[in-house]
Amino acid sequence: MKTFNTNQFKDNCIYSWDDNDSGVMVIQKNAYTTAYNREFMIDNNAMNVIDKLGGIDSCDITLKDNNVIIKKGKVKVKTLIKDVPVPSLDLEDLQRLNLRYNIKKALPFTDLQNIKNGVLSAVQVRSTGNIVATDSYWAFQHNEGCDGEDISINVSAAFIKLLGSSNYKYTYNKHVIVAEDDDYKIIGRLIIGNYPDTNQIFKYQAYEPFAVYDKNELINALDLAMLADSESDCVILSDKGIRLLSGNFNSDLNPVNENIFEVAVNIRMLKSIVKEFTEDNIKMYCYGDVGLNPIVFRDINNNDTYILLPIRVKE
């Protein structure tokens, strides 16, 4: 087995490991190195900073003494280096992953990583162009047909955070995924197993929406609800209007169609989905009883499907 470490490549490397043991290594190509090579690790907070600044290719990352310095424009963040053993990653038998899109750019609302109880932990990528993100509350599917054998791999959120806006060349094997452009090579350890089970998540079909909302009116109502009670996570949609479970907000905004229904969902995740839509009307579908089964949103313009799980509440 070949191993990948700083002594081999004599470049600056960044390692990060999360609770799921999914690792990320970054190699800065043609990087200026000091008299010695140093193995170092950055914590998850620093990775979040890189993510918010647009990814690894949008930042200037340097080493100074015991610190990693991340800069972009007038923004400068300094984090302490953590000395760790160099991980061994299997880079043998890498195969081309023929994606037509940047994985990170295809994902919507990555800020959901900061919503409590809504941490993005894995993304499933299929070589046929199907990309799926999921956690305990929501799921997202993007379809973009690609050529080649249909394979499926689970990529960690840690890997995705460091991706920039480049058109990366992706390769993979049973253990790692590699994204490479002219300046950086980003290597992430894959999450092994059948997580998530996308065949089950996206089996729901419905011909007619149970609710249709004007996009701007729905966003305005959700914004007002969040201003009225910033601590409340649960919003209840019904044919009679929109209200918070806490009772601190009520709106008479009704869907444009006339169906009787009631469903409770996470308000922040609902708003994030609605904001991503390119259509003027938000159509909500459900397979089975509304309020007990997942809500399906389809943005036909972008070939995107969103699923939001309902919250069972007692008022």
Predicted local confidence at residue 86, as pLDDT: 52
Residues 6+ apart with CB under 8 A from 175: 89, 90, 189, 190
Per-residue pLDDT reduced to its tens digit, 71-90: 888 888 887 665 555 556 67
Q: Which CATH number fits domain 211-308: 3.40.50.1370, 3.10.150.10, 3.30.230.10, 3.40.190.10?
A: 3.10.150.10
Assess contact for 154 and 143: CB atoms under 8 A: no
Please give the structure tokens belonging to residue 173.
Answer: 């094997």
Predicted local confidence at residue 280, as pLDDT: 92
Predicted local confidence at residue 167, as pLDDT: 87
Burial class (CB in 10 A: 0-12, 13-18, 19+), 85: exposed
Residues in the chain: 315
Predicted local confidence at residue 34, as pLDDT: 36
Ranges of the chain whose pLDDT falls below 70: 1-44, 80-89, 108-121, 127-129, 135-138, 144-150, 194-206, 315
Q: What are the φ/ψ torsions at residue 28 (nearest 5 degrees)?
A: -90, 110
Assess contact for 14 and 21: CB atoms under 8 A: no
Predicted local confidence at residue 36, as pLDDT: 36
Q: In which residue are the tokens 């649960």 written?
A: 234
C-alpha dist (Å) from residue 10 to 25, 29, 38, 63, 68: 14, 10, 9, 14, 17
Round to whole Å and give the CA distance between 234 and 117: 12
Round to whole Å and give the CA distance between 227 and 271: 13
Predicted local confidence at residue 205, as pLDDT: 65
Burial class (CB in 10 A: 0-12, 13-18, 19+), 286: buried
Predicted local confidence at residue 35, as pLDDT: 33
Predicted local confidence at residue 19, as pLDDT: 42
Predicted local confidence at residue 236, as pLDDT: 93
Enumerate the CATH 3.10.150.10 domain ranges in the chain, comma separated: 211-308
Predicted local confidence at residue 83, as pLDDT: 55
